[in-house]
Amino acid sequence: MKKLYYENAYTKEFTANIIEVKEQDAKFHIVMDQTSFYPEGGGQPNDLGKIDDSAIEYVYEENQKIYHVTEQAPENFYNVKCQIDWERRFDHMQQHLGQHILSACFEKLFDGETIGFHLGTDTVTIDITMENMLPSQAEKIEYLANQIVFNNLHVHQRYPNPDELKKMPLRKPPKVSDNIRVIEVDQFDYSPCGGTHPSYTGEVGIIKIRKWEKMKGGIRVEFLCGNRALKDYHWKNNSINKISALLSVKDIDAYEGIDRLYNEYGQMKKEIRHMKAQLTDYEADFLYDRSDVHKKTKLLVKVFEDRDINELRVLAAKITSKPDIIILFGTKQDLKVQMLFSRSKEIDINMNQLFKEVAPMINGKGGGNPQSAQGGGSDVSNLEGALQAAKQIIQNRYL
């Protein structure tokens, strides 16, 4: 079987004869006498495309045969027309050769060895044996990689004999023992590889490192080449333009603008926290002073609209730090109700027990301790009723 993608990586259309069809799990695994569809392998994803009118879903190699998986059974076996999804293939070629170049730069500049390569739909990464990388180092690597692109070096595929192989300064040892294929980027890099690559480095387009992170045994570097880099640049440029317009700063000052805004925001949050605390102090004093007095004990019953329970808890704690007061708070929020019962520490009433007595009235649950209890319920209509019932119990039983 001829692997046309090794004879010419730019073959987009070809004709072939189907020599074997295997039916498996309602799919057809087709073998042809020649193919330009690249099977998944060596970090490079498989090609897609069509055999006549059947869409190819997957291509893989097994026992020296290349299988093309389709949903439809083939109708013709001779001179079938095959068409490669070229946009996808060329993208893989750009990312793949970009990886060779980038890996070579890591090795030449910082002795970083490539121990992993992943070419995904959304991200492309290489794993490098460097403990960490400084931004200045990344910049040097990127710069060299792009000079290799701009110099438009010829990319050769070589099938060296054992003697020639020994003389080649291979970047990594080959994974196979016969028919070793070496991709040479014109005296710059020699790497054993079974993938597809453009003929000149210029076709890779820009090589851009996006980010990197530490991982076990090194760093994982995410990068993009060619059209992917262009698309990445496109949305980033849009983003920066929008941000700089929003902040009324030059695009190059967008980060400083955000940084300043973020600091201001932090400052304001602090001020708001401080003001809220002050306001709560005033509110606590106000409510305390205006509470009804029953036989020397103040009784404060109040329903709040849409007030956060945590805020109410702070308010309640401030009020009950003063002497001789019982508070029965309720709040309605998003079709739910919450109640908070609390008292000054010297009053001898079990608020937890009281809460549990009236909680069923709001279809609620919760609890606490003798001094303070809280909980939520689903019956919004009966909140006032429940608070009044609790007030009655206090007046009748305790005061």
Q: Please enumerate in sequence order all residues whose Cβ is within 8 A of that of 238, keeping only pairs 6 or more positions apart, or say none.
A: none
Which residue, judged by CB position, is nearest to Zn ion in the bound state? 193
Residue 192 Cβ vs Zn ion, minimum distance, rounded to whole Å: 9
Residue 117 Cβ vs Zn ion, minimum distance, rounded to whole Å: 9
CB closer to Zn ion, 96 vs 298: 96
* CA separation for the pair 172, 165 (Å, rounded): 12
* CA separation for the pair 45, 26 (Å, rounded): 23
Q: Please enumerate in sequence order all residues whose Cβ is within 8 A of that of 170, keeping only pairs 6 or more positions apart, or say none.
A: 182, 190, 191, 192
Q: Name the residues that contact Zn ion, by CB under 5 A.
A: 96, 193, 195
CB closer to Zn ion, 200 vs 304: 200
Q: Please enumerate in sequence order all residues whose Cβ is within 8 A of that of 180, keeping only pairs 6 or more positions apart, or say none.
A: 159, 160, 165, 174, 192
CB closer to Zn ion, 102 vs 193: 193
Rounded to 5 degrees, what angle do the CA atoms 75, 79, 84 make?
A: 90
Residue 195 Cβ vs Zn ion, minimum distance, rounded to whole Å: 4
CB closer to Zn ion, 199 vs 371: 199
Residue 246 Cβ vs Zn ion, minimum distance, rounded to whole Å: 43
* CA separation for the pair 180, 160 (Å, rounded): 7
CB closer to Zn ion, 158 vs 294: 158
* CA separation for the pair 389, 383 (Å, rounded): 10
Structure tokens at 14: 């070809």
**H helix runs in the chain, sequence order:** 4-7, 86-110, 135-150, 162-167, 226-247, 254-290, 309-320, 351-358, 383-393
CB closer to Zn ion, 195 vs 226: 195
Residue 154 Cβ vs Zn ion, minimum distance, rounded to whole Å: 15
CB closer to Zn ion, 49 vs 195: 195
CB closer to Zn ion, 102 vs 133: 102
* CA separation for the pair 172, 159 (Å, rounded): 16
Residues 339 and 368 sit within 8 Å (Cβ to Cβ): no
Residue 36 Cβ vs Zn ion, minimum distance, rounded to whole Å: 17
Residue 197 Cβ vs Zn ion, minimum distance, rounded to whole Å: 6
CB closer to Zn ion, 82 vs 193: 193
Torsion of CA 148, 151, 155, 160, to 10 degrees: -80
Quick one: which of 55, 66, 72 has its CA closest to 19?
66
Strands 49-51 and 80-84: antiparallel
Residue 251 Cβ vs Zn ion, minimum distance, rounded to whole Å: 37
* CA separation for the pair 384, 390 (Å, rounded): 10
Strands 155-158 and 182-185: antiparallel
Residue 242 Cβ vs Zn ion, minimum distance, rounded to whole Å: 38
Within 13 Å of residue 60, how many CA atoms lie on the same side as its CB? 8
Residue 1 Cβ vs Zn ion, minimum distance, rounded to whole Å: 21
Q: How many CB atoms lie within 10 A of CB 286?
A: 11
* CA separation for the pair 268, 308 (Å, rounded): 20
CB closer to Zn ion, 96 vs 171: 96
